[in-house]
């Protein structure tokens, strides 16, 4: 907390984490805060809040751009290249880590090079899709619905998960390894 006496009547405290300014009443015997000073403090608070919101939004955009760049780098040479922005936006929509989408596509179809069904790089049953966009959106909806901890990463070794990989432990290690590799890409 930062405390500062802005006038002879009141001390103001700025909470640097929240940007909230509070007035500490004067000890008895001191005067009261003038309306002009209170307005100035409110304006300072509003400016600080707006600036902090800008900083937060800029950081979120930087994180989005970085995630897209890492996914796109990983998908180079793949039919899925160019879909990094969609994977990141679907990850934001569902809360599912977008790197998992690429990791499962790697494990199931070598990044869409060996699909058994059209536009289904994720081994989702017998389903075919008319476009990669449809497949990606379906994968995120499926992951969000069927994997309760998909926001934190796959725990494919859990027996209660609806997954049928023959070698679940090896599959989980592969998917986790790909997610880790994407996270470590330096852009």
Per-residue pLDDT of the chain (187 residues; tens, 9 = 90+): 444 444 445 566 667 777 677 766 655 544 455 567 888 888 888 888 888 899 899 999 999 999 999 999 999 999 999 999 999 999 999 989 999 999 999 999 999 999 999 999 998 888 999 999 999 999 999 888 877 666 555 555 555 555 555 567 788 888 889 999 999 999 9
Q: pTM for the complete prediction?
A: 0.70
Sign of torsion over alpha carbons 101, 103, 106, 111: positive
Distances (CA, A) of 137 to 3, 84, 90, 140: 50, 12, 7, 5
What is the set of domains in the chain, with CATH numbers?
2-57 (no CATH), 81-184 (1.10.530)
Strand partners, 2: 14
Distances (CA, A) of 64 to 61, 70, 91, 101, 178: 5, 10, 10, 15, 19
- Whether 111 and 121 have beta carbons less than 8 Å apart is answered as yes
- Antiparallel, parallel or unpaired: β 11-14 and 21-24: antiparallel
């Amino acid at each position: 907390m930062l405390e500062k006496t802005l006038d002879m009547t009141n001390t103001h405290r700025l909470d640097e984490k929240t940007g909230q300014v509070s007035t500490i009443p004067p000890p008895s015997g001191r005067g009261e805060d003038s309306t002009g000073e209170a307005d100035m403090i409110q304006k300072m608070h509003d400016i600080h809040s707006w600036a902090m919101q800008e900083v937060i939004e800029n950081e979120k955009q930087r994180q989005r751009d970085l995630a897209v760049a890492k996914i796109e780098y990983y998908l180079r040479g793949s039919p899925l290249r160019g879909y990094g922005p969609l994977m990141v936006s679907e990850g934001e929509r569902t809360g599912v880590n977008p790197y998992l989408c690429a990791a499962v596509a790697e494990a199931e179809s070598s990044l869409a090079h060996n699909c058994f069904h059209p536009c289904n790089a994720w081994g989702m049953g017998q389903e075919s899709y008319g476009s990669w966009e449809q497949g990606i959106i379906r994968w995120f909806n499926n992951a969000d619905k069927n994997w309760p901890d998909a926001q934190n990463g796959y725990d494919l070794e859990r027996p209660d998960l609806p997954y049928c990989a023959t070698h679940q432990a090896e599959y989980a290690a592969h998917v986790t390894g790909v997610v880790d590799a994407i996270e470590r890409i330096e852009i």
